[in-house]
Amino acid sequence: MRFTTRPAPPLDNLGDLRAEIDRIDAEMHALLIQRGTIIDRLIAVKGTSASGSAFRPGREASMMRRVAERHRGLLPLDTVEGIWRVIIATFTWVQAPFSVHADVSAGDAPMRDSARFHFGFTVPYRPHPTCASVIEAVAASRGDLGIFRLGEGAPSAEAPWWEGLVGEGRPKVIARLPFIERPAHPAGTPVFVVAKPLDDPAAAQRDWVLHATRVAAWGADATRSLQDLYGEVVATSADGCRLLLAVPGGVGAKQLRETLERAGAAPIALDEIGSHAARFRV
């Protein structure tokens, strides 16, 4: 079944307009059905249903950028983005069922809004009281995702949440949401998405790379040196000595370590704990 865009016929009355809307609706539904048959073939070819999470953050980020760049007309971008996210996430779930685990220690509503906007209602939503429990739930799953706010979830008496991502085989940050940032976004709470290491490393997006860092002391010189690399401090522990740093993908761990050493903040530990696509602002 193939569909081609055709010029809209001249419409002179309300009945003609409604009939044209019905035709477009039927074609959209048929295209969704056609998309489903392709996903069914994809499962058969790649064996995705038995290989863990089918989430591909780099591809999804690129798709959402294209949606924003080509959008025009009366329909709000919020609606278009939401429709696309439901389509993408639901077909991903069809390939390999997964749940979304969310840290709700600072309130459930923003996290639920983010989960539902970006993953729809078909994907199960699992709230948790801490970031640590989200990470462990993801670690124990086959292909679940975890989401939590940037910079939150680090009680002063406990290890910062990002240290739970350190180590081979541990969950890693694979995305930052929303893919499209703009004022008054309906699900604009910035969150990280974590998952078990992807089967296909090429599926990861490395515009920004995250490092769990421990130092004896952190000062203004270290902050300026990090900024010279176009990096930033995403979160810090209560004592200020354990930090989550984000640097552009072209900055290697060796360069980051040497830069911090020259700034008087020699890392005691420096571990890569994930990456994500560049933020796309509208």
What is the spatial distance between Cα 172 and Cα 271, in angstroms, rounded to a whole number? Answer: 11
Residues 182 and 245 in one domain: no
pLDDT computed for residue 153 by the predictor: 43
Work out how many domains the chain is built from and give that number. Answer: 2
pLDDT computed for residue 123 by the predictor: 96
pLDDT computed for residue 5 by the predictor: 61
The answer to whether 216 and 269 have CB atoms below 8 angstroms apart is: no
As given in the structure block, the two tokens for residue 131 are 């970031």
- Ramachandran assignment for 60, one of left (phi > 0), alpha (psi -120 to 50 degrees), beta (any other): alpha
Residues 25 and 157 in one domain: yes
Mean pLDDT of 148-161: 64
Mean pLDDT of 129-155: 85
Residue 276 has pLDDT above 90, yes or no: yes
- Domain housing 243: 208-273
Residues 218 and 177 in one domain: no
Cβ burial of 191 (10 Å; 0-12, 13-18, 19+) is buried
Mean pLDDT of 27-51: 84
Instruction: Give the residue from 184, 204, 224 where a domain finishes.
Output: 204
Mean pLDDT of 72-99: 94
CA-wise closest residue to 54 among 123, 1, 127, 102 = 123
Residues 66 and 160 in one domain: yes
pLDDT computed for residue 202 by the predictor: 66
Does any domain span residue 3?
Answer: no
Average pLDDT over the chain, rounded to whole?
90
pLDDT computed for residue 155 by the predictor: 39
Does any domain span residue 282?
Answer: no
